[in-house]
Structure 1
């Protein structure tokens, strides 16, 4: 290691400096005449020019290597395709959900979400309250299964009423939802596009807890995903489908 460092020194520059100092001292002592001194100066200037040319070539080679590296990195980046859907596991589930609701904006759709996960006050405060109080959110519309009406009226709705911005939460659209798909659809001011948090009822995506079924895995659907139009169409088809009268079994608008 020491030998490598020793060899890396600019010995031609060191020799030139030593020669210049020695020649100057000898000239001051009148041991070296002006003609020899001039020759030494010319030789030193030649060494300096050679040294400059060598470093200039090394700089050119370095610049070429940097250009080739940048080109290779550009080709790799161009070949990389951003994921359309990101799986979020149990360890990051809560943080991903909080991040999503805190940065949503505009009109939002909450389709077939499991209201039981909002039963514990801490989860309500972390996952739903920030969306209600988010000034960038203009409306919150739930599309819910009839079976969750009691939980909505007794637990969720009273808590929403106690939040600032509760007037933006519309009356839920109650439907008989037999689908196992659940999602939150909203624009994000971070990505400047529409995104979704997608989950599915049942194993392995939901887990049974003391407060009811809670998500175990969710999918963060990115703004460039081809899945988003299908989620929008699913919500529209369920909203505009005729409602079923639970008592008579007849369809009603």
Structure 2
């Protein structure tokens, strides 16, 4: 299949090494400004995917991200932030990267070229038809990701993708593709830049909108967040103060007793 790899096209800027630091920063920033507009164009695709995810997660399904390199790392980051932010279990949103956890910090050569490995990685988690698997690949051509989605489709598992090229093999395989076309990178082919930023924004949207739909936010507050440090404990106390109009001292006692903002608020309201 032939398609235009926009993410590999030559930068619009020449002689980067001759630019001053200010010019480098200004030009990178100018390119970065285009990313939210590209994401906006993909909102209908993102909406369709989120609706499908929510439907499955309401009946106990999980969300998986699979990717390689920057794309894989971004999926791992988004998945790892869901438990502390929304109080969900660590096996509800799972990020898998080609080459395994070692590849989070150090590239594993040729790991992304294995078309069979993603399905093996998913099988370790007993992936099933209640789950959703989203393949992340800026190029839209990563064998690890494409092979994984193909096997998911064959096993009646919902598939989506996030890519930064149109008409890619990955988008053709995904049932719910999200295509965010950000154009050539400032440094030719360095898709950790605009493409990575676009993927991060889309991942933020997917996980946040999904968790809100699942009832993990009250008003605009993270009432199910894990109280894993003093800053978050203080934030939790303030949430209780604002919601119940009680003193800091009483709010702190409630939080200490119930270990969760939502539970503390509910207990006070039901006493």
- When the two structures are superposed, what TM-score results if normalisation uses the length of structure 2? 0.23
Q: Give the structure with the larger strand fraction.
A: 1
Higher alpha-carbon Rg: 1
